[in-house]
Amino acid sequence: MATIAWIGMAVSLFVQYKGIIGLVYTFPFVYVGITIIIGSSVIYQSRTFNKIELAVWGTVNILYLVLGIGYFIYEFELKDFNLGNMCKVPVTQAELDQVSAANFFFAYILLAPTLAHGVVCTLRFLDIGKEGFDGAFKGMFGIFCFGLFMMIISTFLLVCWKDGLAFIGVVFLAVYAAFQVTLYFKNDGFMDLVWKRVNITIIVLGILAAGVVSIFDDNTSTFAGISYSMSVALFLLWSFALFHFIKDSNESTQKPVYYAGALFPVYKFNPRKNDV
């Protein structure tokens, strides 16, 4: 139902904008919808891609790139990149054109295919593990790595070196978060104390780093930098708490949870250690 609604939204965009603009706006939604349908079917059944699915997958990706590159050539010019990287607010028309060209190249041509292949590979790894990476999934993982590399390079060359460093930091945190999630489920929902302390330390250092960086960034105030980082940290912590509450409720028979009279501390039975 979500996929049908997603494609329906794409159709409404096409009707709204029409012509080549409508097609450009619509096709990313259709692309993501088709990849979700094919990828989820393969992963859900714990199998590999058949020839028809590979053909559809390859055709959709080729059409997506052809449409994106074609519109890029139609709408922009190479001279739009003559300014190099810009670490300032765009003011002139040439600077605004470069920002528009860089955003389209980054978000449309690189971001959507990279995310699609990365999500499918991640779900496959969580479902079966690295043993389930046959030729098709190895190729998808290679496309994901290449797209990620191109996104980093384009950020450094076309946007700003500060944004490039920030993007590398985001990639590092995403890889670290994926590693922590893998450990969490591998240990049946329990984390070692040392990893808990490391994660808390990273959150605190991230908030402090945002404050330090915002001091030297003319476009961001110190208050905004710290507020943004704390908002992200609080969102992740609240999401983790909600996930834990639902998980504990569903597993209450195998792993009973005891809440103290003052709410804290909270005790949970660990059947692997036969202790709380």
DSSP 189-223: S---HHHHHHHHHHHHHHHHHHHHHHHH-TTS-HH
63-77, 101-115, 200-214, 217-231: segment of lowest average pLDDT? 217-231
The reported pLDDT for the residue numbered 251 is 72
Query: Between these two residues, 18 and 151, which has the higher pLDDT value?
Result: 151
Compute the average pLDDT of residues 28-50: 77
- Above 70 in pLDDT, residue 64? yes
pLDDT digits (tens, 9 = 90+) for 207-225: 777 777 766 666 667 677 7
Report the candidate in 165, 183, 168 with the shortest Cα–Cα distance to residue 85.
165
Confidence of residue 89 (pLDDT cuts 50, 70, 90): low
| Selected residue with higher pLDDT from 1 and 259 | 259
Is residue 83 pLDDT above 60, yes or no? no
Question: Amino acid identity of 133?
Answer: F
Let me know the angle formed at the C-alpha of 104 by 98 and 107, rounded to the nearest 5 degrees. 130
pLDDT band at 22 (very low <50, low <70, confident <90, very high): low
Flag whether pLDDT at 55 surpasses 70: yes
CA 148 to the chain's CA centroid = 11
Please state whether beta strands 263-268 and 257-260 pair in parallel, antiparallel, or not at all (unpaired): antiparallel
pLDDT of residue 146: 92
